Amino acid sequence: MSEFRHEWKHVISASDSITIRQRMSVVARTDPHAVDGRYRIRSLYFDNLYDKALREKIDGVNRREKFRLRFYNDDTDLIHLEKKSKINGLCAKESTRILKGQVEDLLNGELGWMPLTGDPLITQLYAKMLYQGLRPRTIVDYTRQPFIYGPGNVRVTIDDHIRTGILCTDFLDMDCVTVPAPDAGIILEVKWDEFLPDPIRAAVGLDNRRGTAFSKYAACRVYG
């Protein structure tokens, strides 16, 4: 399992975003996977009939997890299944590659292949789909500008243009209709290991801004 990391989230304004981008471009470097400094992300989140993941997020449950599928820059040939865990305010992510054909089967409710992969994460999702009723719930699209900083293994991201598929789960259909998530705004995320270096702390510091429990998934479930 991945190591647990610290995480800050802030809802920021457009002017905040410009300021932080300028500061970060001086002290850090852009993630090499970005194209022209950015990339597009599409995620498909899972939840059960009782909205367990959504309710635990809203209620601030101390130990929680959520599963999602994700690809970048419209490249459906490279898809990952991810599990995000949060315990005592610390976050961890597990990830494994999943083939496009496997995703198609999963979306069609054909799950028999999942335990045969021998992949622990795919098998875990299979068990939760089988016994807890976990199912795909909604698509979340957005654009990300990522920065990385070696000391402290710091990652700073600025996410905007957050859109929801409402109840659409056709993850591989790039023509699937999405709409802007209400009140999503621009999200600053800062993640680090043991310590947050002073240059980064200064670069992302904003007056009158506090950490928030904002969740893109929760924002994108507002319509149902």
According to the model, what pLDDT value does residue 210 have?
Answer: 61
What three-state secondary structure class fits 24?
helix
Q: What is the CATH number of the domain that holds 76?
A: 3.20.100.30
According to the model, what pLDDT value does residue 3 have?
Answer: 85
Per cent of the chain over pLDDT 90 is: 80
Mean pLDDT of 103-132: 97
Cβ burial of 219 (10 Å; 0-12, 13-18, 19+) is middle
Mean pLDDT of 128-150: 97
Mean pLDDT of 29-41: 92
1 falls within a domain: no
183 falls within a domain: yes
* pLDDT above 70 for 113: yes
pTM of the prediction?
0.93
Residue owning tokens 């929801």: 164
Per the structure, how many domains does the chain have? 1
Mean pLDDT of 184-202: 94
CA dihedral of residues 35, 177, 214, 148 (deg, nearest 10)? -10
According to the model, what pLDDT value does residue 127 have?
Answer: 98
* pLDDT above 70 for 214: yes
